[in-house]
Amino acid sequence: MKIYKLYINNQFVEADEGKVFDSINPSNGKIFAQIADGSIKNMEAAIISARESFDKGVWRQLSVQARGAYLIKIAELIRKNAKELAQLETCDVGKTTKQAIFIDIPTCAETFEYFGKISKELDDKINPVAAPVKSVLVREPLGVVACIIPWNYPLIMTAWKMAPALIAGNTVVFKPSSKASVSVMRLAEIISEAGLPQGVVNIVTSTNHEVASQLAKSLLVDKLTFTGGTETGAEVMKMASGNNKRLTLELGGKSPNIVFDDCDFDAAIGGAMTAIFMNQGQMCTAGSRLLVQENIYEKFLESLVKKTKALKIGDASDYETDFGPLVSRAHRDYVLQWIEQGKKEGAKIICGGKTPEGNQNKNGFYVEPTIFSDVTNSMRIAQEEIFGPVLCVMKFSTIEEAIKIANDSKFGLAACVWTKDDNKAQSVARQLQCGTVWINTYGGFYNEAPFGGYKRSGFGRELGVEGLLEYTQTKHICIDQTPGGKPLVSGWF
């Protein structure tokens, strides 16, 4: 059984006292790897490594193109080791083999490659001002960037945060979730192989929340980018407030998926299933509130239930599996508690709602894909993020009603609209209070386009130029160009 070590100052090191924790395969409940369980001392060493590396300036003084060459090399090595990385994601978090191979690993590589080819976006820019000066806007790295990610998309989120931080000239301290560390630590080996300068990337795994909190508290860290739960995000803000640390927070969601009666029916059915059952519903953007117009409500639900019941549940490593396990026994039990809550609130289960039967599933952490009808938007199951395969279906009659229901949420991460009427789709999209709206599709994330939330879904952006600039600070350089070199200021007194 492989033991994955911490990556600090370009060295793979054991945790203090040799502590490790287990990675359990959620498909069968068996331990398949162990990971170093880092301490506060280990994290402090990683922060110091990143600080010293940045202050020496070797990385930030490279040209953008030179830094980009390292990122492109990382992308090449990810593709070279794609099969192994996909297997590790499947064994570590229960992501189906199909998803890991066709979505997660390619996306990770593409993100490193995209930011590795960035150039003009970080160039100096001339400000046109009505004065005899040359006004220059310079973008510089922030310094040490700390990154904390959850367990649902470990490799993709690593790339989303690390690649733009690095290309901008920062050094990085990275903390993956203890529930999903294996593929990230294999990526650490790939990063080491790519040969980045000493201390530029540091990765610390730990089960101790106090270890991660050092990233928010440390005066040596200039920025923290966090993806995770809304309540945890609030705690991160409190911890970082003492040192005015720059923050990017991508938090929870309860995304509305609005289906109008003039939609492409089959496309909307498939899109609704993908929006809630991809990755077993363990997505911050999950379309967990399905709003269906009353004219097609019964027909839509009948078709949706039929197709959902046909999904093959099983071991995530089986290529024929459509729907794998949840990440852990604790999270499975948490989701089952929410299903019971829905029953108590008067919602009706029309599909799933329990652990699947059969000996092949008895040791894994499975929950059937679950659909509730008769849901009202005031129910807790419609307002709180469950982070599992639980769909809350609601009926609406008018456009105005759909928009009102959709916006009646503390979250504002994403939404979907299904209609053949482009004008209606555009109008609705602009009235929805969220950071991303998909029209007649779901889940398109692009390196060129920003992603982030409104309201309690966080602030700041990932990806795109907006996401890149989150990792920079601006400096204004003002050069006098007065004829004769005698500006007014020089003769004021």
CA-to-CA distance for 421 and 433, rounded, in angstroms?
A: 20
In angstroms, rounded to a whole number, what is the distance separating the alpha carbons of residues 165 and 147? 10
Cβ–Cβ under 8 Å, residues 99 and 278: yes
| Cα Rg, the chain, nearest whole Å | 24
Q: Which of 66, 107, 111, 55 is nearest to 467 (CA)?
A: 111
Helix (H) or strand (E) holding 135: strand 133-141
Active site residue 284: yes
Contacts of 470 (CB under 8 A, 6+ apart): 164, 223, 225, 248, 460, 461, 462
- CA pair distance 6, 174, nearest whole angstrom: 10
Distance CA 32, CA 441 (A): 37
250 noted as active-site residue: yes
**Residues 433, 455 contacting (CB under 8 angstroms):** yes
β-bridge mates for residue 13, sequence order: 6
Tell me how far CA of residue 474 lies from CA of 127, 163, 218, 241, in angstroms: 13, 19, 23, 21
Task: Report the phi/psi class of residue 292: left, alpha or beta, with left for phi > 0 and alpha for psi in -120 to 50.
Answer: beta
SS3 content of the chain, % helix, strand, coil (to 5): 40, 20, 35
The residue annotated as part of the active site, out of 250, 385, 462, 470, is 250
DSSP H stretches of helix in 345-449: 380-383, 399-407, 422-431
Options 284, 351, 416, 434, the catalytic residue: 284
Angle (CA) 450-224-436 rounded to 5° is 20
Triad 329, 334, 339: Cα angle to 5°: 125
* Calpha distance 53→223 (Å, rounded): 16
CA-to-CA dists, residue 21 to 5, 18, 31, 43, 256, angstroms = 11, 10, 10, 16, 38
How many whole angstroms separate alpha carbon 215 and alpha carbon 222?
Answer: 9
CA-based nearest residue to 413, from 172, 233, 223? 233
From 380, 375, 412, select the one nearest 395 (Cα to Cα). 375
How far is 318 from 336, CA to CA, in rounded Å? 24
Catalytically active residues, by annotation:
250, 284
